[in-house]
Chain A
């Protein structure tokens, strides 16, 4: 399945990226999406992203909820006119017969407050199952996008369940003779215990502050890429704190505001450097 997607999107001219090296709650947060979608330069990419959502873990007991799963992320910037047709072709490349199934685009507007980002789009339903989150970005880091990118995020486990006709992710055949459960179930159990019970709240709170501080100083040194990693680390610390139930409703808004401020500063700096770079090149 992943091979089919890689092949299809490589043929569409996408740069095939690899997963990022720190915890992300969504493929959107990978700098290959978040930062590259800013500014006036065209960009096409596709990659697998393991996403980490501490709150969604269920100790490997619930066949639909995990704190770690996979997305397949595609960005076409700017979105070509036939972008939806290209997406539907990718489903055909996966072996989905669009005439046999009921494939629909159901309104779903996307917002990521920690990143000051939003867009309009759909969830793609195949016979009622959501298989892709589809978004035209409008703002990232509080900045209006210049070239509107199309983002397609396939939920790989869901898609595999659909293709294999399985009712539980644990039963998915992940490789011949090996199920998804064989590979990840124990990891779900252990990480759920850590996320919900053991992650040290005071350490995480301190870490959040340190990453925030480091991000600021890196912004001052005009290094947006390392600064962005600190935003991601803040975001992950926040997600863990939330899973630990250590954040009240009002505190939550304050934390989100802090991460958003950082994301905005990094986005602006990234754009500044990019336009300066263009200036140099022109000179």
Chain B
């Protein structure tokens, strides 16, 4: 066995590409060299692997046609593999080609090239005539078999503090790079960064930039900086966003921050970074003060001139619709006030600079204007949940406002024909619909189904199918029920599923199914209303009687289990009916009346959903 080093030298790869490469490199090495790497190194300027290999490739046997077909197939097979027919070798009844293994060094250039070409990045580019696509240009490759250089010439150390670098032996790769100012191992860089941050103490990373920073440097220097305390007047999240998403710094609380440099003179680099951050904060302060000078009420007044959505009026119109929706959702005073101010920050300059902080900035401005905390919190929470598993609003007013916002966005988008298609959903309508369902199911908010136009309701309720943990058929059944709100649909689906093996469910299901099968198709010939005087048989009178008794208490709104139990009384009545009564009576009036009776049974039970959706 020998140690092989493979190195692919690149211009600075993005962190995302490094992660993709780290995922793919072991598999590619194994595919091309027959063994997985013993070590993998991933960083912005190089992808490398150490592999324990045989110095010869294994002998190969390429299986061809069976011997008994030799006359017909041997010549073609031999030609395809560039050998003469006489050279074909027979093994276990098949002809084939024997290929002796070759020295690894002969095949390495091609294998390394195949590895480079084998990567697939979510964003890739061309840079020369080679036709290779990679996340960024590949500028050198190196393969060392023990002490021998098989591909390329040298490696390279740190971009600015070192130059080309001899690797005397594959096994000395990491060691030599460390001497040249490069830490090739991503895990080790992460450890060094965390250790450096821990040494400073009290660091935080709410935006999760650590993972990116690991791949932004080849050499780790953790430095600390600070900014002028006057910037603490800015909303904290504005400061944190400026630090994290713009500069990839780690907040240390107060006016201090930590960051990771790739080299340079620490004093110079720290001073430079402080100037840059203060510049950004200065810029933010400038816009913040202009906004605050206007105040949230004046900002809200400006919404009339800002278009929310072409065809759906301005943000003032949006605020008016929100207010109406909030009232229909039973929101209290705080949520109505919050609805009026919810979109005011769309007129704020600071939101243009920090679009991710919409809502939050409005809430801060409302606080500065002295609005009650319930109003401010609701404004803050209006876009939640903003991710599939993201947190829900914590306040009642926040839940109501968040639901109203989503209802309006969905209704407006659908009415203007902007429905999501396939993977295209530029307005985030799926996320809005899922959020709405979660507000109802997990947040316990009553979201009346009648607040949604048909198309929107369909779309939203389809999301329920993926959200709650019961088979889709039960959700589909429940969606067809008379349940008045989204939460009730979910609870109905869950109860139907939980009760699916009880005798009550079975009785209801069977009654529904029989009534539906027989009368469903004949609905057109049924009487418009049940005529009790036409009920001749005792069994049909009994069924009508039972139906009248249970009718009103069969409801999907409330205790579904109790409703199932009550409704199950129709089971025996139906059974007797089908035993004693012939629905298709000769007398058309009697027949129509019996069909009506069955349809009434179906529709009463149907308040618990379209049970025909559930497979049995």
Contacts and interface: CB of A to CB of B under 8 A. Distances in A.
Contact of B279 (A64, A102, A122): A64
B263 interface: yes
A190 interface: no
B161 A127 contact: no
A100 B268 CA distance: 7
A102 B126 contact: no
A165 B274 CA distance: 12
A122 B12 contact: yes
A255 B217 CA distance: 41
Contacts of A15: none
A239 B499 CA distance: 62
A136 B137 CA distance: 10
B283 A129 contact: no
Contacts of B139: 81
Given A62-B283, A249-B307, A127 B264 contact: yes
B136 A250 contact: no
A98 interface: yes
Contacts of A250: 309-311
Interface in A140-198: 148, 162, 165, 167
Contacts of B354: none
A79 B126 CA distance: 11
Contacts of B12: 104-107, 122
A277 to B, nearest CB: 23
Given A64-B282, A127-B276, A129-B272, A109 B123 contact: yes
Contacts of B510: none
Interface in B247-306: 247-248, 259, 261-265, 268-269, 271-273, 275-279, 282-283, 286-287, 305-306
A101 B160 CA distance: 10
A99 B310 contact: no
Which of A104, A119, A122, A250 has most chain B Cβ within 10 Å?
A: A104
Contact of A63 (B135, B160, B282): B282
A105 B282 contact: no
A256 to B, nearest CB: 13
Interface in B109-127: 123, 125-127
B125 A138 contact: yes
A103 interface: yes
Contacts of A81: 128, 139
B282 A248 contact: no
A216 B420 CA distance: 34
A136 to B, nearest CB: 6
B153 interface: no
A61 to B, nearest CB: 7
A58 B135 CA distance: 38
Interface in B139-163: 139, 159-161
Interface in B226-254: 247-248
Given A107-B15, A129-B272, A102 B282 contact: no
A162 B272 CA distance: 8
Interface string A25-65: 00000000000000000000000000000000010011111
Interface string A89-118: 000000000111111111101000000000
Contacts of A245: 305-306
Given A102-B262, A120-B125, A148-B128, A128 B276 contact: yes
A251 interface: yes
B436 interface: no
Contacts of A79: 127-128, 137
A128 B127 contact: no
B277 A128 contact: yes
A78 interface: yes
Contacts of B286: 58, 61-62, 64
A10 interface: no
A106 B216 CA distance: 7
Contacts of B127: 79, 136, 148
A99 B264 contact: yes
B11 interface: yes
A262 B337 CA distance: 47
A245 B352 CA distance: 13
A178 to B, nearest CB: 23
Interface in B66-103: none
Contact of B247 (A58, A78, A128): A128
Contacts of A165: 275
Interface in B185-232: 216-217
Contacts of A17: none
B14 interface: yes
A101 B264 contact: yes
B223 to A, nearest CB: 9
Contact of A101 (B14, B44, B128, B269): B269
A250 B273 CA distance: 39
A104 B220 CA distance: 13
A54 to B, nearest CB: 14
Nearest to B45: A105
A126 interface: yes
Nearest to A64: B283
A127 B221 CA distance: 13
Nearest to A129: B276
A138 B126 contact: yes
A4 interface: no
A83 B559 CA distance: 72
B264 A148 contact: no
A84 interface: yes
A65 B14 CA distance: 28
Nearest to B284: A64
A219 B12 CA distance: 41
A101 B268 contact: yes
Contacts of B269: 101-102, 127
Given A63-B282, A129-B276, A249 B160 contact: no
Nearest to A145: B126
Nearest to B135: A120
Nearest to A162: B272
A83 to B, nearest CB: 9
A7 B310 CA distance: 51
A104 B273 CA distance: 13
A223 B136 CA distance: 36
Contacts of B272: 101-102, 126-129, 162
Interface in A71-94: 78-79, 81, 84, 88
A249 B310 contact: yes
A137 to B, nearest CB: 9
B308 to A, nearest CB: 8
Contacts of A251: 310
Given A102-B264, A136-B137, A65 B125 contact: no
A84 B11 CA distance: 8
Contacts of B263: 99, 102
Contacts of B248: 106
A248 B307 contact: yes
Given A100-B265, A129-B275, A65 B126 contact: no
Contact of A128 (B14, B123, B273, B287): B273
22 contacts: A64-B283, A79-B128, A79-B137, A88-B159, A99-B264, A101-B265, A101-B268, A102-B273, A103-B160, A103-B264, A104-B216, A104-B262, A105-B11, A106-B216, A127-B273, A127-B275, A128-B273, A148-B125, A148-B128, A245-B306, A249-B310, A250-B310
Interface of B: 11-12, 14-16, 44, 123, 125-128, 135-137, 139, 159-161, 216-217, 247-248, 259, 261-265, 268-269, 271-273, 275-279, 282-283, 286-287, 305-307, 309-311
Given A120-B125, A148-B128, 4 more contacts: A64-B279, A107-B12, A128-B277, A245-B305
Nearest 5 Cβ contacts at the A-B interface: A127-B272, A107-B14, A248-B307, A250-B310, A105-B12
